[in-house]
A and B are shown apart, each in its own frame.
Chain A
Amino acid sequence: MAVPLRAPARPAARERLAVTGPSGTRRRRIRENWAQYVAVSPFYVLFLVFGLFPIACSIALSFTDWDGIGDIEFVGLAQYSYLLQDPRFWNAVTTTMIIWVISTVPMLLLALLMAFLLHQNIRFKGFYRVAFFVPNVTSMVAMAIVFGSVFSDTFGLVNSALTALGADALPWLSTDWGIRVTIAVMVIWRWTGYNAIIYLAGLQAVPTELYDAAKVDGAGFWRMFTSITIPMLRPVILFTVITSTIGGLGLFTEPQILLGDGGGPNEAGMTIVLYQYNQAFTQFDFGYGSAIAWALFLLAAVFAAINWRLLSERDTVRTKRQGAGR
């Protein structure tokens, strides 16, 4: 996994050649850049002190059988070989992937659109911005009850509306697909505003004269959106795609509060992290919980690397073009 993730550093490094210049030996360049090392060091110091030991422990635990209190027994690769044959784990992988796709795609598109609309010179901008961000602030405990009652099979608002319109009530919370869609809706609800605010912060960096010029040329909404907004936002979009990928693969809070630690009927809402939590903190099987965590880490690394490849290749192109334009 180290190889694909290393790739992005190359174009980035090429980009910066103009700033520092290629001259000098390595040692001299290290000395010249002392300030940058000081600047990045707090993260590594904190990581060494507080991050490395727990991470090493959890790697170690994944080769053991431990109930969280008693004796730790070394079991070699047993947890991993069980994992490969565990249908519940693979069910969790499938569930996570499906929810990830049906939530992330609409969420990011809506967020982009909302950010674009909010960036227009419209009234009540401040209020709208707060309103969109409220879902991310609101207590998730409360949201469990809200979504439980909105999507309730028998008493829910959605089904009441459907039957009032003459359609059939849908089994939102008792079928596999109903549960996946409901969780996706929760994710979209909670994170669209958050992503929109990130995009909005990114949009501020886009010089307004670009839009003015486009308007003079008679470009409409769609045209400006696709040929100015999206290219200018590419690094920020890369950020949201990667964080949504990691967040989506790590989906936990929404299914847990909606369905409990067991993942709901037929474990249809059992995501990978919920399964990991379930094994470690309700079954007290810390060895297996750690193995699941590391399987998830591998999965997330692969997906992040793919995203990065896809998006940052174009990133370089954009930077070049932008550089040429100036």
Chain B
Amino acid sequence: MNDLLSRRSALRAAAGTAALAAGATLAGCGSEVSISSDPDELVLWYWNRSFSPGLLAQAAEQIPGTTRRLRADLIGGTFDSKLRTSLAGGAYIPDITALNDNVALYFPNEDLFHDLNEFGAEEVRDEFYDWKWSLGTTTSGRFCFWPMDTGPTGFFYRADLFEAAGLPSSPQDVGAAIRTWDDWIDLGVQLRAAEGGSFIIINALSVFQQHINASSERYLDADDKPLFTQPGNAIREAWDVAVRAAKAGATGNLQLVTDQNSAFSSGKVAGHIDGAWWAQVIAETAPDSRGLWRLAPQPELPGNRGGSFMAVPKTCKDPAAAVAFMRWLTTPESQATSYNEMQLFPSAPRSFQLGTMTGGDYFGDQDPLAFFSEAALQVPTTFISTYESQVGAFAVQIANVESAGKDPDTAWNDAVEETLRILAKRGVV
């Protein structure tokens, strides 16, 4: 009752005056309103196709090793907005939440989540790819974000179109022909010059981003210091490769998803670099191309794109049971099941040794599982900063170079200047 009163007066104060009062409101949010009145029920928020329905159904009966049951609420669309609103309101917070590859956004608010090491997470660390595990660790060293699926990357290409263009077409030959990014650009130029004139990738931005995804160093370091202003930084390197690809005419200048989908479907674009989960996307987008796409190692080394996490808010009614659920859901066996049901690519290497996973026939006689499990071993360990959400200017400017012919150096300088300005505003530089 007291709690309620203090909160109400805080509300009134906030309505009356300015900023300080708004702060008081937040501070006053002590009374948590529970999301579920059933004491044995843990609530999970997730989005469609991010969990295996079979495993969720099992956990709904009983979470193995605990006395709790799981209620899984499907949240669509603006998942982050809903979660953040609940966290900010201090009410109706789920006991476990899924989070996408933008977990770094929650680093500044890590206090709202349990350090899972306090519940024995460390015991199973060896079961996961090291690079994935470290993405879930905050800058202060707390392990708040439990690994789910991953997205090791590779070069997807249309073997039939490569063959028709008189280019290497088997995965081995293509892989051998594109050891470096310049080789890959050359191949793109030849593909473009051949009859059919396909592009090797949708746009320069895609080259830029996948190059960065394969780098151990990104926009900002673990102290949130910008790296893109340093000489010889990874971002500039990716930028230069993307500009070379665009200037050589190898990139498709397709900036919108609908254009890109049609281009994949029509064969106007015969290549793509993306995470393992893209196999499912292309299979649905271009079912007629079944058996025509193949996978080859991308130039230099593979990277990672996408892949989600789980977290346990401090308000969780039984964090130990929540951790038990996450452990159970991500055992190599469970992840193999999740892959077979939902094409969620495992974060546990031992999943592939179980022999229970099937890769499907979209890639003809090539086994995508063998390919990506190999790639996953080479993904570099990296750090993604909270403030990577502020670096959109680079994407805008690389597209300007490609579609409007803007001078690459001017575009680079504009991107750097814009980004520094935004980072200064956020108090980072």
A residues contacting B by CB (< 8 A) are: 52-53, 56-57, 59-61, 63-72, 74, 82, 87-88, 145, 148-149, 152-155, 171, 173-175, 259, 262, 264-267, 281-285, 288
Q: Are A174 and B14 neighbours in the complex by a CB distance under 8 Å?
A: no
CB distance from A90 to the nearest CB of B (A): 13
Q: Are B22 and A285 neighbours in the complex by a CB distance under 8 Å?
A: no
What chain B residues lie within 8 Å of A282 (beta carbons)? 389
CB distance from B168 to the nearest CB of A (A): 27
Q: Kindly state the separation between the CA atoms of A74 and B78 in the bound complex, as whole angstroms.
A: 28
What chain B residues lie within 8 Å of A61 (beta carbons)? 19, 22
What chain A residues lie within 8 Å of B19 (beta carbons)? 60-61, 63-64, 72, 74
Q: Are A155 and B266 neighbours in the complex by a CB distance under 8 Å?
A: yes
**What are the 9 tightest A-B residue pairs by CB atom distance, in nearest-first order?**
A148-B258, A74-B19, A155-B262, A72-B23, A60-B22, A64-B19, A69-B109, A56-B15, A53-B15
Q: Kindly state the separation between the CA atoms of A265 and B268 in the bound complex, as whole angstroms.
A: 21
Q: B392: nearest residue on chain A (CB-CB)?
A: A262
What chain B residues lie within 8 Å of A71 (beta carbons)? 23, 26
Q: Kindly state the separation between the CA atoms of A281 and B257 in the bound complex, as whole angstroms.
A: 22
Size bracket, chain B contacts: 35 or more
- The proximity string for B residues 391-429 relative to A, scoring 1 for CB distances below 8 Å and 0 otherwise, is 010011001100110000000000000100000011100
What chain A residues lie within 8 Å of B78 (beta carbons)? 281
What chain A residues lie within 8 Å of B389 (beta carbons)? 282-284
- The proximity string for B residues 19-34 relative to A, scoring 1 for CB distances below 8 Å and 0 otherwise, is 1111101100000000
Q: Are B258 and A70 neighbours in the complex by a CB distance under 8 Å?
A: no
Q: Kindly state the separation between the CA atoms of A52 and B14 in the bound complex, as whole angstroms.
A: 11
Q: B106: nearest residue on chain A (CB-CB)?
A: A69
Q: Are B257 and A148 neighbours in the complex by a CB distance under 8 Å?
A: yes
Q: Are A284 and B84 neighbours in the complex by a CB distance under 8 Å?
A: yes
Other-chain residue from A145, A173, A267 in contact with B396 (beta carbon distance below 8 A) = A267
What chain A residues lie within 8 Å of B18 (beta carbons)? 59-60, 63, 74
What chain B residues lie within 8 Å of A284 (beta carbons)? 84, 105, 389
Contact status of A173 and B256, CB under 8 A, knowing A53-B15, A60-B17, A266-B404: yes
B residues contacting A by CB (< 8 A) are: 11, 14-23, 25-26, 78, 80-81, 84-85, 87-88, 105-106, 108-109, 112, 253-259, 262-263, 266, 268, 389-390, 392, 395-396, 399-400, 403-404, 418, 425-427
Q: A52: nearest residue on chain B (CB-CB)?
A: B15
CB distance from B108 to the nearest CB of A (A): 6
Q: A267: nearest residue on chain B (CB-CB)?
A: B396
Q: Kindly state the separation between the CA atoms of A167 and B293 in the bound complex, as whole angstroms.
A: 35
What chain A residues lie within 8 Å of B84 (beta carbons)? 68-69, 284
Q: A261: nearest residue on chain B (CB-CB)?
A: B392
Instruction: Give 16 CB contacts A-B under 8 Å.
Output: A53-B11, A56-B14, A60-B14, A68-B88, A69-B84, A71-B26, A148-B259, A149-B258, A149-B262, A154-B263, A155-B259, A155-B266, A173-B256, A262-B396, A283-B390, A284-B105
Contact status of A67 and B259, CB under 8 A, knowing A52-B15, A175-B404, A283-B390: no
Q: Kindly state the separation between the CA atoms of A283 and B102 in the bound complex, as whole angstroms.
A: 11
Q: Kindly state the separation between the CA atoms of A155 and B268 in the bound complex, as whole angstroms.
A: 10
Other-chain residue from B22, B403, B404, B418 in contact with A72 (beta carbon distance below 8 A) = B22
What chain A residues lie within 8 Å of B255 (beta carbons)? 173-174, 264-265
Q: Kindly state the separation between the CA atoms of A194 and B22 in the bound complex, as whole angstroms.
A: 40
Residue among B21, B106, B258, B390 with max Cβ neighbours from chain A (10 Å): B258
What chain A residues lie within 8 Å of B108 (beta carbons)? 67, 69-70
- Further pairs besides A154-B268, A288-B425: 11, Cβ < 8 Å: A56-B14, A60-B21, A63-B19, A68-B84, A71-B23, A71-B26, A74-B18, A149-B258, A175-B404, A262-B392, A281-B78
Q: Kindly state the separation between the CA atoms of A154 and B266 in the bound complex, as whole angstroms.
A: 11
CB distance from A130 to the nearest CB of B (A): 28
CB distance from A270 to the nearest CB of B (A): 10
What chain B residues lie within 8 Å of A262 (beta carbons)? 392, 395-396
What chain B residues lie within 8 Å of A267 (beta carbons)? 396
Q: Kindly state the separation between the CA atoms of A236 and B230 in the bound complex, as whole angstroms.
A: 61
What chain B residues lie within 8 Å of A88 (beta carbons)? 418
